Amino acid sequence: MTTRDKLLYFLYLHRTGLMVFALTLALAIYPPLWGNPYLLGVTNQIALYAIVVLGLNLFIGYAGQISLGHAAFFALGAYGSALLSGEAGVAPWLALALAVLAASGVALLVGIPTLRLHGHYLAMATLGFNLVIYLVLMQWDRMTGGPSGYAGIQPLALGAFTFTSDLRLHYLVWGVALLCLTLALNLVRSGVGRGLAAVAGDEVAAAACGVDTRAAKVKVFVLSAAFAALAGGLYAHGFGFISPETFGIFASVDFVAMVVVGGLGSVWGSLFGVALLTCLPEWIDRFESYKEIVHGAILVGVLMFLPQGLVTGLLDLARVRLARWKARHA
């Protein structure tokens, strides 16, 4: 084997780790190169939504289930951490951890009965759960601030170093997002991930092969809820203000759209789906009153011509073109 072949084999064998390293390096040098507070705010939002969508893609793309209620877990993480640190006087990091654990417990209690459902019945059940949480946040104004929101949330800190600026928050949220990305990549390549793929393919066949389908679905549902709650807690402490409008049913629909556009069952596609749908309204803002129509047309176009998702569809298209080129030049 030549040196070139060894190098190519090494790159292929470690391609996932090298891609994560390259993304980490790019995100580390991005703020000094641009230094634009507005762009940092947008990328911070992408990181927070990416954490939610990574978990949701595990549930939808790999386990083959559907959830229209993940904004509720996003809200539980945000309000739980904010209220614990603000009203109960708990340290912000501990409050964040407790909020994630509480949201995971709620997901377990909700998931055990609702995951007996399938298809649109499961979608309606999770949507109803999201609506209940939203109404509680709106009506319990003595604790949550109601429609006016909850302000004055303590920032996260390491000693005297507080994550108050966009630059500091950038490194925090993207550090957590990269950890979640690494966890998701390792999970889908493990035996658990293969079991989830079997459940998505054919639940009856997976059960016949020894996969505990109910336990697998509940576990990945709880994990995806924990991801969403973690993102919610970081959102609350990072921005210092939360309101129910951020966690309504349309937020859940947006999260599902990010999964579908990025590519069902594509961990990397989750990042691209979040980036596209977060930046798209900013790019088409020049169309003013027509921007909602343009936004919808772009999404419909992606789903029509790349129904398997942006990343998966482009990769498949590239493979087909490469195969045809090789066939012509063989």
Specify the higher pLDDT residue, 214 or 225. Answer: 225
Q: How far is CA 306 from CA 76, 263, 300, 302, in A?
A: 34, 9, 10, 5
C-alpha–C-alpha distance, residues 28 and 18, integer Å: 15
Using CB atoms within 10 A of its CB, is residue 58 exposed (0-12), middle (13-18) or buried (19+)?
A: buried
State pLDDT tens for residues 152-167: 899 999 888 899 888 8
Q: Cα torsion for 210, 118, 252, 50, to the nearest 10°?
A: 20
Rounded alpha-carbon distances, angstroms, from residue 30 to 24, 40, 41, 174, 229: 10, 9, 13, 12, 27
Contact between 288 and 295 under an 8 Å Cβ cutoff? The reply is no
Q: To the nearest whole percent, how much of the chain has pLDDT over 90?
A: 39
Per the CB < 8 A criterion, the answer to whether 18 and 11 are in contact is yes
Mean of all residue pLDDT scores within the chain: 85
DSSP helix/strand/coil, 90: coil
- Domain ranges in the chain are 15-249
Nearest to 80 by CA among 54, 112, 104: 104
The yes-or-no verdict on residue 176 having pLDDT over 90 is: yes
Section 266-277 average pLDDT: 88
Distance CA 92, CA 85 (A): 5
Encoded tokens for 91 = 């340290």
State the pLDDT at residue 307.
63
pLDDT(251) > 60: yes
Amino acid identity, position 2: T
- Give the pLDDT confidence of 40-67 residue by residue, as tens digits: 888 999 999 999 999 999 998 888 888 8
